[in-house]
Amino acid sequence: MPKQKKRRPVDYSTSEMVKLCGMKASSSFENKRDKVFERYEIDPTLFKMDPRVEGGENFYPVVCAELLAILIKNWDKNPPSRKNANRDNVTVTQICDFYRALLKDVDDLPKELRGLVYKCCQSHFTTKCLVIWAERVVNGLALFTETYMNQVIQKVL
């Protein structure tokens, strides 16, 4: 089947999305994209030129392409996405690293899109607060543990 043109010139093709995600191979992009679609329950046929054609061309509407690219680009930083991931072994630091990467990429979006995210997505502000407070809790717990252990050692000696 010959390649079809994008529906609109402003929409992203798969090769443009690969570049936007900072990847070299379209197979890596497609693999991560499929995992993101599965994890966030996104219907993959929404991005098909012709949903009736199995394996047909994809397009990515400009209204969501850059946000989708952020999720795909940072998929490997998402603690549950790692091989042999065990929910019981996920640390606050891992979650903060993932959120920090997402926040950085949102902050690097074009001004207009970034403004929409800031206005429409209260979760962006909440996530920033979560990262700040989680780091403080982790540091506080580490300091408490260290102080407590030093006191125990002093009593033993």
Hey, where are the domains in the chain? 1-73, 77-157
Cα–Cα distances (Å) from 107 to 36, 55, 78, 86, 118, in that order, read: 21, 34, 18, 30, 9
The 10 Å Cβ neighbour count of residue 97 is: 16
pLDDT at residue 27, as a whole number: 92
pLDDT at residue 53, as a whole number: 64
pLDDT at residue 21, as a whole number: 94
Give 7's pLDDT tier (boundaries 50, 70, 90).
low
Mean pLDDT of the chain: 83
**Residue 131 clears pLDDT 70, i.e. is over it:** yes
pTM for this model (two decimals):
0.73
Q: What CA–CA distance (Å, rounded) separates 61 from 76? A: 24
**Residue 50 clears pLDDT 70, i.e. is over it:** no
